[in-house]
Structure 1
Amino acid sequence: MSTVNEIASRKEIVTITADSGKTAYEVADLMRRNRVGSIIVIDKKRQPMGIITERDMVKRVCLKNVASSRIKVEEIMSTPLITIMSYDSIETASRVMTKNKIKRLIILEADNRIAGVLSASDITKHLAEILLDDHNQYRSLRFAVDLS
């Protein structure tokens, strides 16, 4: 079975430092410019410590009816950061996502460097490819049997 690192989308990893003073407005603009649905929050040592997702923006900014220019990164990021190792299986990732009710996992290398972000959509696409391959194999076998 494939590892999470093999199926994660290859979008650029966007990070922001926790105490950078950045606001929700700046985070939203960063997401828009980079065409990503999440930003990883790191500490001064570049270690991952939280994540800001589109859902976080809706719940912690839009629904509070406060100017996005007045809300800091630290107020909207989700912690603790749920991570998975790059060599872990897709099955493990699915279980972690389900258990924690999240749609994204941060993929870490053995040295704790960020390797990527795995989304529920990445898993869905991978499983759809497997099903399509199985279906095509079945059709080929059925066609071969029908010819004999």
Structure 2
Amino acid sequence: MYVETRVPLKEVMRVNPTTIEAEATVAKAAAHMCRDEVGSCIVLSGNVPIGIVSEQDMNCKVVARDLKPSSVYVRDIMSTPLITIELDKTVGEAAQMMIKHRVRRLPVVESGKVLGMVTVRDLLGVANELNEIMSDLIVINREENYAMGICDRCGKMSDDLTPMDAVMLCKECREEERLR
């Protein structure tokens, strides 16, 4: 069971994503991305999202071709169509959509309006947190699995072993330890 897949997107998305008009230059988009410390801008025509421009678009379509960023327009290098996800979806659904469309960023929309952005990094952050929790649960579960066995102090078989000072003790040995 993958618990993390049912986390609502609104819990992990970044609100107020960076946007840029399609008629803006790549230099202006890069400045916005630097200012906001992000790797992409959602491209708008009016207030309607029509594409996305990323660092990779800038590197491959402008820098690698030795073009001048101040003379290239965002509309000419943006990636389209814009793949979006609805606000009421989950982390798991976002991950599946990213895999299907081979994208690393998904604008989160509601009624056609962009409310946020979710990235692969955001999804991995959720997975990492849950992996830590699962590791702690596994440790607890392992302790329960050792409830039956041989007491580390007296060597007798017991169905009531409990960890105490890094050793597994039966009920009698725990009583003796408490009396000391």
The runs of 5 or more residues in structure 1 that have no matched partner are none
Residues in 1 aligned to 2:14 and 2:125: alpha-carbon distance in whole angstroms:
10
**Which one has more relative contact order, counting CA pairs under 8 Å at least 6 apart?**
1
> Match for 2:21 among 8, 11, 17?
17
Residues in 1 aligned to 2:17 and 2:100: alpha-carbon distance in whole angstroms:
24
Residues in 1 aligned to 2:92 and 2:145: alpha-carbon distance in whole angstroms:
34
The runs of 5 or more residues in structure 2 that have no matched partner are 1-5, 147-161, 164-180
For 1:4-83, what aligned pairs fall within 5 Å after superposition?
Answer: 4-10=9-15, 12-19=16-23, 22-44=24-46, 46-83=47-84
Residues in 2 aligned to 1:14 and 1:121: alpha-carbon distance in whole angstroms:
17
Shift of 1:141: 3.1
Q: How many residues align?
A: 143
Shift of 1:81: 0.1
Shift of 1:98: 0.9
Residue in 1 that maps onto 2:168? none
Larger radius of gyration: 2
CA contact (8 A) 2:83 2:106 kept: yes
- What root-mean-square deviation, in Å, do the aligned CA atoms of Structure 1 and Structure 2 show? 1.5
Residue in 1 that maps onto 2:157? none
Residues in 2 aligned to 1:9 and 1:17: alpha-carbon distance in whole angstroms:
20
Residues in 2 aligned to 1:132 and 1:115: alpha-carbon distance in whole angstroms:
29
Shift of 1:15: 1.1
Higher relative strand content: 2
| Secondary structure at the counterpart of residue 107 of structure 1 | strand
CA contact (8 A) 1:5 1:115 kept: no
TM-score (normalizing by structure 1): 0.89
Residue in 1 that maps onto 2:158? none
Code of the aligned partner of 2:21: T
Shift of 1:145: 5.0
CA contact (8 A) 1:13 1:117 kept: yes
Q: Segments of 4+ in structure 1 off by > 6 A?
A: none
Taking every aligned residue pair, what percent have the same amino acid on both sides?
29
CA contact (8 A) 1:16 1:40 kept: yes
CA contact (8 A) 1:17 1:43 kept: yes
Residues in 1 aligned to 2:99 and 2:17: alpha-carbon distance in whole angstroms:
23
Residue in 1 that maps onto 2:136? 136
CA contact (8 A) 1:15 1:42 kept: yes
Shift of 1:4: 1.6
